[in-house]
Amino acid sequence: MAFWRRNTYIEEERHVKANAQDYNDKFSYADNHIKTSKYNIFTFLPINLFEQFQRVANAYFLVLLILQLIPAISSLSWFTTIVPLVLVLVITAVKDATDDYFRHKSDQQVNNRQSQVLIKGSLQNEKWMNVRVGDIIKLENNQFVAADILLLSSSEPYGLCYIETAELDGETNLKVRQALTVTSDLGDITKLTDFDGEVICEPPNNKLDKFTGTLYWRDNKFPLDNDKMLLRGCVLRNTEWCFGMVVFAGLQTKLMQNCGRTTFKRTSIDKLMNTLVLWIFAFLICMGVVLAIGNVIWESWIGRNFQVYLPWDEFLSSAVFSGFLTFWSYIIILNTVVPISLYVSVEVLRLGHSYFINWDRKMYFSQKDTPAEARTTTLNEELGQVEFIFSDKTGTLTQNIMVFNKCSINGKTYGDVYDEFDQKVEITERTACVDFSFNPLCDRRFKFYDGSLVEAIKLEDPSVQEFFRLLALCHTVMPEEKSEGDLVYQAQSPDEGALVTAARNFGFVFRARTPETITLCEMGQAVTYQLLAILDFNNVRKRMSVIVRNPQGQIKLYSKGADTIIFDRLDPSSEDLMYTTSEHLNEFAGEGLRTLALAYKDLDADYFDVWMKKLLFASTVIENREDQLAALYEEIEQGLTLLGATAIEDKLQEGVPETIACLSLADIKIWVLTGDKLETAMNIGYSCNMLRDDMNEVFVISGQTLLEVQQQLRSAKEQILGLSRVSSAGDVEKTDMSADDSVFEETIIAEYALIINGHSLAHALEPQLERVLLDLACLCKTVICCRVTPLQKAQVVELVKRHKRAVTLAIGDGANDVSMIKSAHIGVGISGQEGMQAVLASDYSFAQFRYLQRLLLVHGRWSYFRMCNFLCYFFYKNFAFTLVHFWFGFFCGFSAQTVYDQWFITLFNIVYTSLPVLAMGLFDQDVNDQNSLRYPSLYKPGQQNLLFNKRQFFLCALQGMGTSFLLFFIPYGAFSLIVKEDGSHFSDQQAFAVTVATSLVIVVSLQIGLDTHYWTAVNHFFIWGSLAMYFTILFAMQSDGIFGIFPSNFPFIGTARNCLTEKSVWLVILLTTVVCVMPGLAVCFLRADLFPTLTDKVRHLQQDRKRQGPQEQNLRRVRRTSSRRSAYAFSHQQGYGELITSGKNMRITTVSSAPSSGRVPHSSTWIDNMLKRKSEVACISNQSTGAAESSSSRTIQTPKKKHTD
């Protein structure tokens, strides 16, 4: 946004009046136009140039260009600097403009979406960008919400509507919003046109789950909360239409407030290069000062005696002034220590590495025709240095698809498939599915593989029937029958949808409901149950129950929930079945399935009547209503009879556990930041193998106040370190034992996990606690943050960036991940189910989380390795090339005379040595991609920044200085002794220059050949071709013909021919080459032989296996083996029971019946081991129940058990 349009007015309270645009315009509220791009036509040039000149090198070359324009000190032509500098600026500007063009295109696509706006008494189509605060807009089913709007009315009864908030919090389950009663009948245009209510509410903010306001209308005021609002980014679902009034628009909507700013990202190598350029510039000044002092001394002692032959220029007044001019002349001559071509080459390499990512077929997802895409070209080498990955859960790690996988009924398990030898068979795509054709109302997409369960249903096994009857009755799902038999379930929890769909396929079809009844189609027969009460779910109860009266007049309570909760409320008669079911639950949990226990109870009518009166009284009291209701629920949910358990698979994306395991071996820490509930996040943590039973401790931080969170964090940290290092006052005690935490990170062998919810995280991110949080998190192997807002995700990333010198990567697939993606050093978007916002804000994108492994361990490691080798070699060759002038200065009277001719200086970096180093930087690889994945530890040098750092630069510079010294003094010494074949001396400077230049080109070409690990035809062509090009150009420029055409530009006529035809010159070149190359070669050989790195060892193995051909990596599938079980309905929210019994969301549906048939059942195997006693289960139950409200530090201790394969 242009700076001159920014409004400095701080809004404290928002006033919005419906259908009163003139009134609303007085407040200058933001329009609905959004902007995620960085530039516009007017700001592109100044901002982009400012960003580019943040590179010290660009500013350095600009200063050199200005110096070269001064004739008195310039010994090189100005065009040798300005052309490459402009080329670099233009290439970078075009790349940045292209990136921003796609952002503009995305913005235009969103801004030009159509919305129906009520204007002058009629609905008119308007672009989103033209929607303004106070407008009344109409939304239709499956449409995105254009702005933050107050819901006025809808097509549903009582002004209800259903929305999907995947763009905001990653959850695809439906949520309910309800309009105020007074506005719910504003369904026609006339009433809406006359609506003149005024909303006074909070100013724009980023709190997605909170809204406070008041509607003033018809001399009354009505309170507004978040349940009355539809936020931008939501999608209207299962609602034909709704009307709403725009309260916040554009950049002031809660979604855009959470998006964060687009920042200019630079790699750590870029930042290091800035420092190195300053170092080199200081070194350059030192050399200039030394040579300038030498010039002053020489002119004072020797030069003044030869002024007859070497007269001073007219403006030279003294030797000191001559030294001053010489200083600037040498600065210009020696500037090639950092040539501008370095930056051109770096951009070319990054572009090439980006194309390699785009072209990688192993990162192409054929099902959606989605290739990997490098959306930026500036961050490739940083992919090889990542230490922290921040990942979303829903849609990133999981597919957000729930599948009914297995169950245990009356002590028998169903869901496994066995062969004729009674051996368990792994289920694949080729495994035959159960035939549900007997049930015309079945869901054709549902798959189950164990036919014995269908046979049990057909044989009318009472336990099996009661099991599925419970699943069909005990839920808050709403049915929608679009046509006869075409059922669609509106489930606000995907778990519930999976369970009700399973019951539907096994013959217990949930068809319709009213506030008082539930209608099922049981094996083809319509049965209506009277719904007497719903005992709703909440986080403390971890269960849900319904009380119904069946057609026979029996009153039954059906309950489902976390097994630890249900088992604690069972009748003693179910104890044996509980032990057996507990074993089955262990088996299910060990496979990463989400489990629930099911139980029922027959109720006496008289007892129920008395209990119901108590319930009606408790529901009307004002004080302690929740506590009284909870006590009544607890009273009636005792003495339950166990039916069995269900096992639902929350499908992970393919390869997620293997990818996480592999990245962990590379010392990459993965933190999961999700908007889901704690139970869901923990369950996925176990499924992904991030949480395991053999971990020493899992810390759960759930404090409600700053003091509680502080206490929990410090207690957990002390427990890990085993030291009381933190005082009660909050300061670290400075004792002899208080070593740096980073040391402890390296030495702690035990494994810990940290789980923190969003409310506690808000306190933990306060300045006084953030460092404690970070220290604790870094001591843990796994960190999971749940119920976090998009802004909190970004704050966690910023916390790590601020205090840890580590490269961060954020990966997500929804708009709720955009701020995190923008904040991290590297942002990765997954093109999933939740739109393209994350992809558009990302630096890299692909379709599956598993491709992250290849992006980092192969492309990232190779890019870092290639860039580091490229830089080391580039600095080496340029120090070797440039410092020859320094040594020559001592023999030319410090006169700023160059050794080489000007054309060699111009072409050395552009033609003679540019292509070989580019080939190495593009194609070199120390080990192949299979071994890069097979040995993740190869990634660690990048994290530790070992391949290119200040030490490596110093060694390269030292090697370059040594080479320049040898390049100058070996020919210099030889030329003072040798003679030509005709007996004459090599006395001319031109022959010396050719000899040194030829030696230099051969030495650097041999050196790059020795530094290359992976030879391709391109490498051979470029290295040997560059040598051939050098000799071709050398002889051409020093030929008689070109001298005849341009005598003043090519004065070295015949030098190459005369010099290089002498055998002694070639002997000098050979001697120089051997002496320059051999020390480096000996050091490399001895280092690899005596102190081999992991890379050396893997390369040796790779060479040994070369004859066997390439071997694909064969990672064993990582299976979770855990005894921990999940709790009920992880995305479920409290309050749906009351909504259903109120009848506000009911529709009238018709019920039809279907025929039934029967088959013979098949027996299933039992697990031999006995599990926990009931008292142990109850203990864990109490611990789990109290965790949410505990004020002290809580930990989840998972029992250790030995696993056998």
Residue 373 CA to residue 836 CA, distance in Å, equals: 13
Q: In 10 A of CB 230, how many CB atoms?
A: 23
| pLDDT reading at 578 higher than 90 | yes
Q: How do beta strands 241-248 and 148-154 pair?
A: antiparallel
Q: Which amino acid is at 821?
A: I
- Bigger pLDDT: 1106 vs 965: 965
| pLDDT reading at 742 higher than 70 | no
**Which residues have CB under 8 Å from 550's CB, separation 6+?**
527, 529, 556
Residue 1190 CA to residue 627 CA, distance in Å, equals: 17
φ and ψ at residue 321, rounded to 5 degrees: -65, -35
| pLDDT reading at 925 higher than 90 | yes
**Which residues have CB under 8 Å from 428's CB, separation 6+?**
none
Structure tokens at 605: 């009518």
Cα torsion through 369, 374, 375, 377, rounded to 10: -160
pLDDT band at 1058 (very low <50, low <70, confident <90, very high): confident
Dihedral angle sign, alpha carbons of residues 203, 207, 213, 215: positive
| pLDDT reading at 236 higher than 80 | yes
Residue 474 CA to residue 487 CA, distance in Å, equals: 18
Structure tokens at 892: 């030319």
- Bigger pLDDT: 1158 vs 971: 971
Residue 863 CA to residue 929 CA, distance in Å, equals: 12
> What tens digit of pLDDT does each residue of 25-72 get?
888 898 898 887 888 888 899 998 888 887 777 887 788 888 878 777
Residue 1045 CA to residue 1033 CA, distance in Å, equals: 16
| pLDDT reading at 1082 higher than 90 | yes
* Beta bridge mates, 555: 549, 603
Q: What is the pLDDT of residue 6?
A: 42
Per DSSP, the residues of 53-78 read TTSHHHHHHHHHHHHHT-TTT--S-T
Q: What is the pLDDT of residue 1178?
A: 36
pLDDT band at 1130 (very low <50, low <70, confident <90, very high): very low
> What tens digit of pLDDT does each residue of 1059-1069 get?
888 889 999 99
Residue 976 CA to residue 130 CA, distance in Å, equals: 84
- The residue length of the chain stands at 1205
> What tens digit of pLDDT does each residue of 155-202 get?
988 888 888 887 776 566 678 898 998 998 888 899 999 999 999 999
pLDDT band at 866 (very low <50, low <70, confident <90, very high): very high
Dihedral angle sign, alpha carbons of residues 38, 40, 45, 50: negative
| pLDDT reading at 1014 higher than 80 | yes
Rounded to 5°, angle at Cα 1100 from 1096 and 1105: 145
The fraction of the chain above a pLDDT of 90, given in percent, is 41
What does the pLDDT average to over 1160-1170?
33
Q: What is the pLDDT of residue 1123?
A: 52
> What tens digit of pLDDT does each residue of 640-692 get?
999 999 998 877 888 888 999 999 999 999 999 987 777 778 878 888 888 88
Q: How much is the mean pLDDT over the chain?
A: 83
Three-state SS for 217?
A: strand
Winning range, highest mean pLDDT, from 477-481, 682-686, 913-917, 1059-1063: 913-917
Quick one: 990 exposed, middle or buried, by C-beta within 10 A (0-12, 13-18, 19+)? Answer: middle
**Which residue from 198, 187, 229, 21 is spatially nearest to 119, judged by alpha carbons?**
21
* Beta bridge mates, 370: 365
Residue 23 CA to residue 21 CA, distance in Å, equals: 5
Residue 852 CA to residue 871 CA, distance in Å, equals: 26
Owner of token pair 């002092």: 293
Residue 507: HSE in the Cβ half-sphere, 13 Å Cα cutoff: 24
Structure tokens at 341: 């071509």
> What tens digit of pLDDT does each residue of 528-554 get?
999 999 998 876 788 899 999 999 999
| pLDDT reading at 1165 higher than 70 | no
Q: What is the DSSP letter of 370?
A: B
Active site (annotated) includes residue 392 = yes
Structure tokens at 80: 């040798």
Q: What does R_g of the chain's alpha carbons equal in angstroms?
A: 38
| pLDDT reading at 1204 higher than 60 | no
Q: What is the pLDDT of residue 972?
A: 92
**Which residue from 1147, 1, 1161 is spatially nearest to 490, judged by alpha carbons?**
1147
pLDDT band at 987 (very low <50, low <70, confident <90, very high): low
**Which residue from 1025, 1058, 788, 1036 is spatially nearest to 911, judged by alpha carbons?**
1025
Q: What is the pLDDT of residue 1194?
A: 39
pLDDT band at 819 (very low <50, low <70, confident <90, very high): confident
pLDDT band at 519 (very low <50, low <70, confident <90, very high): very high
Residue 1099 CA to residue 662 CA, distance in Å, equals: 20
Residue 1196 CA to residue 1182 CA, distance in Å, equals: 12
Q: What is the DSSP letter of 100?
A: H
The fraction of the chain above a pLDDT of 70, given in percent, is 84
Q: Which amino acid is at 403?
A: V
What does the pLDDT average to over 776-797?
89
Quick one: 405 exposed, middle or buried, by C-beta within 10 A (0-12, 13-18, 19+)? Answer: buried
Three-state SS for 412?
A: strand
| pLDDT reading at 709 higher than 80 | yes
What does the pLDDT average to over 1160-1185?
35
Quick one: 282 exposed, middle or buried, by C-beta within 10 A (0-12, 13-18, 19+)? Answer: exposed
Strand order in the sheet with 235-237: 174-178, 160-164, 235-237
Owner of token pair 């379930």: 489
Q: 31, 100, 169, 392: which one is catalytic?
A: 392
